[in-house]
Every structure is written in C-alpha cells, then in structure tokens.
Structure 1
Amino acid sequence: MATIGGIDHKYIAIPAVAISLGLSAYAAYRLHRSARVVPGSDVYESTKLLSEYLVFHFGTPEELIPYPFGPKDALDFPKRCAELCLKHMQPKEGDYTRALDIGCAVGRSTFELARVVNEVIGIDYSQSFIDAAKILHSNGHMPYSLVQEGDIFSQAVAEVPKDIDRKRVNFEQGDACALRNNLGAFDVVLAANLICRLHHPKYFLSRLPQLLPKPGSILVLTGPYTWLHQFTDKSLWLGGYVDANGEAITGFKGLQKELGPHFELVEQVDMPFFIRETARKNQWTVAHATVWRRR
C-alpha cells in the first residue's frame, strides 16, 4: 500500500495496452471499418483517454482529488449537466419523454437523465467510449485502471447509481454531424463539451430543429470553446476568430446566430469541470453552459 494525499492505493505495474477492459468489440470495429475517420477523433480511442473519462464520469471525490484542497466544486460535471436539463424540462403529466445525450462519452449524463426521462439515447463517435457505456448498461459496473505515475496504476470500478433504471437507456456509436434519420423527436437534447470538437459544427446545429420539433423542448449545450484545427478546419469554426469587419466572433455569438431563428436562450451559466490525468496532473476548465427552449 502507498498513500497519496492521505488516500491509500494498491499499486500495480502493468503495460498501457492492458489498462482497459471490454474493447474486443472496438478492435473488430476498427479492423473492418470503412467509413472516413473524423479528424482528431482517434485520440478518443486510446486506453489512456478511456480511463480518464471513466474516472471523470464515475470517479469518487477521493479518486479524483485525494487532497484536502482542490476545486471540489468542479466534480460531478456529467451529473450537473443532466440536472441542468431536468431543471428546465416541463413535460405534461402522463407524457412519454425522450432525451438524447449526444457526445455522451462513457454515459454518466445519459444514466442521470433516466432518473426522470422515460427513454434516453446516448451517442458518441468513440467506439471505445460506447463499448464501455454498454458494459455499464449491462452490468451496472466496470473495472478499470487509473494512471498514478508512469507505468504505475491503481484499480478502480465505475458504477452506475443503483437507483437508476438502466433499462431506460440505450447507447450507440454515431457521428453528431451525420446522425441517423430515424432517431425521432426528443423533449431534451444535451451536447456537453461537444461543439468545439466537431468536424462541421453547423451540420450538427442545423439538425437540432428536427430533433426538437415541439415548442418548449429543451436544448443544453456546454463548451469551453477550445477551437482547434486538429478537430475542425479553421474555416468551419463557429467562433474563436476575428471576422472581415474586425469583430471578435466568440463561440457564444456563433451559437446565437445559428440557433436564434428556432430557439430562445433561457439561461447561461459557467460550469467548471475537473479531469484527472495522473495522481498529480489534472485539468481544471470552465465550460460555458447555455440552455435553449424551442420556439
């Protein structure tokens, strides 16, 4: 046993290739896949990122910040995103409700939406994330390994809260910019930290009026607006540039322009989140969350 920040961990030394579980389906998928790979997306297929997102979504406070100090208010970001959606949902009594979590990663927000919503679909481009989400859906838990330092790992288990009805949830792999046509209509759509990682953000935004056709339906978007050419060609950035008139176009301005004809902005809030990389290296980021109601 060793101690980090007062927390005991059992360390094991294992190769990186062995730190994730349940990826045989992903290996077959990558071997036979013929579709074009979206720029920048391969980073999300690494075992390192899978581990980071499992602890980001399901990690305990002690696993994430094993110190007496740190930004504890930045924890449970996926749960807080779902709660922001549910805060604004106003279904009529007896209504059958549907939610879409696009860019769901390993699924915490998807599960949390199922506390209230009858049917929730989680979609992510990363096959490894979806494989993990499906294991959690089937078993309710999934063991994984956390990098502590170099090739030193500790063991952890991601667990779906037992009071959530997992039968309300389904996961599938998909491209947010080319969603299948038969998804149907939803009462709420969540896209957390997705918009600045899309290869064509406007394609995704243009589909939202079809996904949320009913007046009063809710759209929640969060994003740190970290526009990167590795994910999105600079000519397609929604914000983060200065236009020909010298005006600084932010991501929020881009959203207002694209969504304004169909949606009304009802709330915006700064939402911090914390991503653990190792025992001593982490990311603290503030996402801009916007809530929109279908006109």
Structure 2
Amino acid sequence: MPYVFGVDHRVFAFGSLALTSGVAVFSTYKWLSLKRRQQKDNVYESEKLLNEYLIFHYGSEDEILRFSFGPKDSLNFPKRCADLCLKHCKDLGSSVPSRALDIGCAVGRSSFELARQFNEVIGIDYSQSFVDACNHMKTLRERVYFVQEEGDLVKHLLAQISKDIDCSRTSFEQGDACNLRHDLGQFGCVLAANLICRLHQPFKFLDRLSDLVAPGGILVITSPYTWLTEFTDKSTWLGGYKDKDNEPVTGFMTLKRVLGKNFDLLDDQDMPFFIRETARKNQWTVAHATVWKRKS
C-alpha cells in the first residue's frame, strides 16, 4: 500500500515518464534510470526497501513498535485502508461489480484484505519487485524477510496471510498509475493509498477514475499531501501552493473540484501511519483519507 513513508520510500513505486516537456521526459528518465541502477548495484539497499514494506504490511504490532509507548493507533495502515473500503462497500448492491482495484498495492496487504468481500481484486504497482513479492505471498501465503535493527544487525521475520483469505481472488501486475491499461474494466471499489502526491501526472490519474469506478461504486484515496518537485512538477501539484489571486490551494480542495463532477464525497478522516526503519528510528505520518461514491 508512494507513502510519505519518507521521501525515498516510494521512489520506485509510481510515476510516469510521459511528462509534457521533452526536457522533462529526458530528465525524469535519467533520474529514474539512475535510481534503478543504484538499486540494482546495491542489493542490500534494494532488499532493505522491500523489507520495510513487508513489515509495514504484514508485521505484528510488537515487531513494528518495540516499545510499550508510541502511536499504536498508527499500525496496520494497509489493513485499515482495506477496512475503510469494505465498510463503505458492504451495501453496494448487485448492480455494482464485485471487483476491487488496489492502485499502488506495494506488497499486497490491502489487496488480500479486499478479497474477503470482492470476488476479484487486482493489485497494480509500478515496482516489479513489489509485484513479485505479491505473487510470492499469493502462492506460498508467507515469506521470510529481515528488518534492520542497528547498523548491519538484522532480524528475520515471517510475513503471513490470514488463513481465511481466498488468495485465488487476487491478481497482481506491474503498471503505471498515470497510464493504466485501457481494458481493466470497471470496479465496485478503487483504492489509491498514499499515491497521488508521488505521481508525475496526478491530474491524468484523477481523470481516469470516473472510468474505473462503476456507477454506485466506491473510491478511497489517502494522502499526506507531501508535494515535492522531485516527484511531481510544481505546475501539476494538486495543492500546497497559492493561486493567481494569492489564495492557498490544498490537495483536498483540488480533489473536491476535480472529483466532484462524477463523485459525491461520503467521508473524510485523518489516518495516521507508522513506518519502521530500524529498532529505534521510525516515521509517523498522518494521511488524509477521503471516501467517494460514483454518481449514477
């Protein structure tokens, strides 16, 4: 389930190379290529990045947060995202397809949780290594991984999928959130968790949502609204700037303006999440969750 999971945590998960300017295209390609070469050249860092997502998605409370104090209400974020979807989708009716789409699925926890209710769940992520991890979990239902304790000291853990989840309902594929394949069809639920502020073309993604969410279906977006030029050109930020009249524009304001044409806002709430990096260094962030219903 780009998180602000730190500035660098979602570098490989999303982004489109199709920017409007030829110079921007080249610059973005060069930057992403460098990042991928660095990842390939440093196996430990690459594995460490993947493992941070595995514990974020599948770690127990004691594995993630070692201390009796701390923000325990921030744990299990991917499951809480799925639970929010399921809460609003329980009375969709037979006219809405029993299909869910998890865009930016990372290592798959939300996708598997959505399979508790939906007959088909598709998880899409830009990172092939994340998609491979999802398919590993789907097939074997568990995976051994390690987390960094201190320096070169690591601890091995076991990620597992609950026995009451039907993994056969899920499928995973690599894809660009800003350029999704056109034959995906429509869904009763679409989840985009901590994604929009890590996209190169967030407006293009938002414009696609009315096609993906079936009439009467549910859309859930979470985001900490951390707009950064290394991910998104400032001209396409959804918020975090002042307009021509010197009035502040927030991401939530833009979501309401853009999505309001085809969606009704049902709910919005703050959802904290906690990212474990080492035994003693962690990240605490608050995402804004918005729930939308596709107009008939």
Same fold (TM over 0.5): yes
- Distance (whole Å) between structure 2 residues aligned to residue 154 and residue 281 of structure 1: 15
Decide whether aligned partners of structure 1 residues 161 and 38 sit closer, same or farther in structure 2, where only a CA change above 3 A counts.
farther
Check whether the contact 1:58–1:159 (CA below 8 A) recurs between aligned residues: yes
Check whether the contact 2:102–2:121 (CA below 8 A) recurs between aligned residues: yes
Summarize the alignment of residues 5-20 of structure 1 with structure 2, pairs less than 5 Å apart. none
Q: Secondary structure, in 3 states, of the residue corresponding to 1:244?
A: coil
Check whether the contact 2:206–2:259 (CA below 8 A) recurs between aligned residues: yes
Please provide the CA RMSD for this pair.
Answer: 2.0
Q: Secondary structure, in 3 states, of the residue corresponding to 2:123?
A: strand
Higher RCO (CA 8 Å, separation ≥ 6 residues): 2
Check whether the contact 2:97–2:187 (CA below 8 A) recurs between aligned residues: no
Q: Deviations over 1:211-247 (max 9, x none)?
A: 0132x11000000000111111111111111111111
| Unpaired runs of at least 5, structure 1 | 1-35
Q: Which amino acid aligns with 1:259?
A: L
Q: Secondary structure, in 3 states, of the residue corresponding to 2:66?
A: coil
Check whether the contact 2:188–2:213 (CA below 8 A) recurs between aligned residues: yes
Q: Deviations over 1:101-139 (max 9, x none)?
A: 000000000000000011000000111111111100111
For residue 48 of structure 1, report the CA deviation from its aligned partner. 2.1
Question: Does residue 77 of structure 2 align to residue 81 of structure 1?
Answer: no
Q: Which amino acid aligns with 2:146?
A: S
Summarize the alignment of residues 1-295 of structure 1 with structure 2, pairs less than 5 Å apart. 37=29, 42=35, 46-89=46-89, 90-92=91-93, 97-214=98-215, 216-295=216-295
Partner of residue 4, structure 2: none
Q: Secondary structure, in 3 states, of the residue corresponding to 1:187?
A: strand
- Distance (whole Å) between structure 1 residues aligned to residue 209 and residue 96 of structure 2: 21
After TM superposition, where is structure 1 displaced by more than 4 Å over at least 4 residues in a row?
36-45, 93-96
For residue 142 of structure 1, report the CA deviation from its aligned partner. 0.8
- Distance (whole Å) between structure 2 residues aligned to residue 52 and residue 245 of structure 1: 42
Check whether the contact 2:147–2:154 (CA below 8 A) recurs between aligned residues: yes
- Distance (whole Å) between structure 1 residues aligned to residue 150 and residue 29 of structure 2: 31
For residue 93 of structure 1, report the CA deviation from its aligned partner. 5.2
Percent sequence identity over matched residues? Answer: 59
TM-score normalised over the length of structure 2: 0.84
For residue 257 of structure 1, report the CA deviation from its aligned partner. 1.3
TM-score normalised over the length of structure 1: 0.84
Aligned residues: 260
Q: Deviations over 1:230-267 (max 9, x none)?
A: 11111111111111111111110111111010101010
| Unpaired runs of at least 5, structure 2 | 1-27, 40-45
Check whether the contact 1:121–1:170 (CA below 8 A) recurs between aligned residues: yes
Check whether the contact 1:40–1:230 (CA below 8 A) recurs between aligned residues: no
Q: Secondary structure, in 3 states, of the residue corresponding to 1:231?
A: coil
- Distance (whole Å) between structure 2 residues aligned to residue 96 and residue 165 of structure 1: 18
